[in-house]
Amino acid sequence: MTVKLFWQAIVKFLLGAVTVGTLLFAAAGTRDYFNGWLLMGVLFVPMFFAGIVMMIKDPELLKKRLNSRERQREQRAVIAMSAAMFLTGFTAAGLSSRFGWLLLPKPVSWAGAVLFLLAYLMYAEVLRENAYLSRTVEVQAGQKVIDTGLYGIVRHPMYSATIILFLSMPLVLGSIISLLIFLMYPFIIAKRIGSEEKVLEAGLEGYTEYKQRVKYRLIPFVW
């Protein structure tokens, strides 16, 4: 672990928390927004402790996860669409709370929080299984095909986990409008997977054979 990596992680964490909090509570027009605090808790408390674990046990993986600068134009477009989804989704949730637009009952929010935390555990397992997980689409030096654990079920279990994570967010926030906005995410990630697999087939030895063994990308028996 280096001092630079430590401060990079802290700054990115705080920036994310401030950004999400500002979008939610500014749109809600109040700090007395229970669903907003619930999401902040289930999102950033596990993220904080996961960051500490990676910083101690695998700083190289943390470094990869902090790097989000895509080189490919198509992947930059995917990131831009994701950012727009989060911006409009969180703002819509805050406005829904403020004006009472199409709100979900409290039990749905609690169920969404449980689903979110379960998806976080799945995400953590993927990180444990694959030390090559970068946030950018690339083939790293010495990278090998991982085909055990969740990777023996679907080819992109990290994206499977993020779909559950992101679709549970509007449930936690109790907003039907926000849920409709976040339903864009599976289509956004499908676009990312299409170009990512071309990169992996071209640069990662054994990936074509892996695709033949593991047929499904995200959801077993579906796609």
Predicted confidence (pLDDT) per residue in 124-161, tens digit: 999 888 877 766 666 666 788 888 899 999 999 999 99
Cβ(122)–Cβ(163) under 8 Å? no
Predicted confidence (pLDDT) per residue in 61-108, tens digit: 777 777 666 666 777 888 899 999 999 999 999 999 999 999 999 999
| 147 burial type by CB count under 10 A (0-12 exposed, 13-18 middle, 19+ buried) | middle
DSSP 20-67: HHHHHHHHHTSS--HHHHHHHHHHHHHHHHHHHHHHHH-HHHHHHHH-
DSSP secondary structure letter of residue 216: -
Q: How far is CA 46 from the centre of its chain?
A: 13
Maximal C-alpha separation, the chain = 54
Residue 87, classed as helix, strand or coil, is helix
Q: What is the mean pLDDT of residues 194-214?
A: 89
Element spanning 70, H or E = none
Q: What is the mean pLDDT of residues 172-192?
A: 96
Domain ranges of the chain: 3-213
Top-ranked range on mean pLDDT: pick from 79-83, 111-115, 156-160, 207-211: 111-115
Please provide the average confidence, as pLDDT, over all residues in the chain: 90
Domain 3-213: which CATH class? mainly alpha
Predicted confidence (pLDDT) per residue in 33-59, tens digit: 999 999 999 999 999 988 888 888 878
Task: Please indicate whether residue 185 or residue 140 has the higher confidence score (pLDDT).
Answer: 185
